Amino acid sequence: MAVIMSELKVLIEASARHVHVTREHLEALFGDGAALENVRDLSQPGEFLSDKKLRIEGPRGAIDRVSILGPVRPATQAEVSMTDARVLGVTPFLRESGDVAGSAPLKITGPAGSVDLAEGCIVAKRHVHLTPEVARKHGLENKQLISVKIDGERGVTFHEVVCRVSEKFSPAVHIDYDEANAVMLTGEVYGTVV
């Protein structure tokens, strides 16, 4: 017997290319005592767009003025789109944020210096942030793969969307700019879990 879950509509957000840095790398890039200043809060509690920007460089090209998101992290990583990966000339590794083992190498440069990452450049898997309460209500579990339908002139259903469940989250689907452009995402848009 099929289980019918109640309809779940979730905010769709486009995630631009960005970098997460460790405290050590932040100081190597921006100088001793450098700190990430909050320019704007992001939808996920405690996360923010910082005032710091840097250059990311691969074997074939570079992209300037890439934002660093705060707060500092245990590992440095760059999250780019497939288009960005081609510009940089790196092999795209489709991963969840934080899973950088064996991913593409990258050079990152700030005003005070550069860091050569042996690994750390990924294309982030599309994912949905959920609180445990919302996940339970809709019968969803952490790491479960779901599909999300977005209506509109260029409507699409994204498959292989990873559920990420935590009390620290606020419900939102994150896709990259290649995916957002494919569906002509503008303004406040909600998708339906199907």
Predicted confidence (pLDDT) per residue in 5-18, tens digit: 568 999 999 999 99
Supply the pLDDT for residue 4: 44
Supply the pLDDT for residue 3: 45
Helix (H) or strand (E) holding 70: strand 62-70
91 and 147 assigned to the same domain: no
Contact between 61 and 90 under an 8 Å Cβ cutoff? The reply is: no
Query: Which of 168, 174, 175 shows the shortest CA–CA distance to 133?
Result: 168
When pLDDT is averaged across residues 114-120 and rounded to a whole number, the result is 97
**Alpha carbon 89 to its chain's center:** 20
Q: Supply the CATH number for residue 184's domain.
A: 2.40.40.20
Which of 124, 153, 184 is a domain's end point? 124
When pLDDT is averaged across residues 144-165 and rounded to a whole number, the result is 96
**Does 167 score more than 60 pLDDT?**
yes
**Does 158 score more than 90 pLDDT?**
yes
183 and 173 assigned to the same domain: yes
What percentage of the chain reaches a pLDDT higher than 70? 97
Residue type, 165: V
Q: Is the dihedral of CA 147, 149, 150, 153 positive or negative?
A: positive
34 and 106 assigned to the same domain: yes
Looking at 7-136, which runs of residues are DSSP E strands?
A: 9-15, 18-20, 38-41, 48-57, 62-70, 77-79, 94-95, 104-110, 113-124, 127-130
Predicted confidence (pLDDT) per residue in 27-56, tens digit: 999 999 999 999 999 999 999 999 999 999
When pLDDT is averaged across residues 121-136 and rounded to a whole number, the result is 97
Q: What mean pLDDT value characterizes the chain?
A: 95
- Total residue count of the chain as it appears in this document: 194
132 and 87 assigned to the same domain: no
The total domain count for the chain is 2
135 and 151 assigned to the same domain: yes
90 and 144 assigned to the same domain: no
Supply the pLDDT for residue 6: 63
Supply the pLDDT for residue 192: 96
Supply the range of the domain harboring residue 36.
16-124
Rg of the chain, C-alpha, whole Å:
17
84 and 23 assigned to the same domain: yes
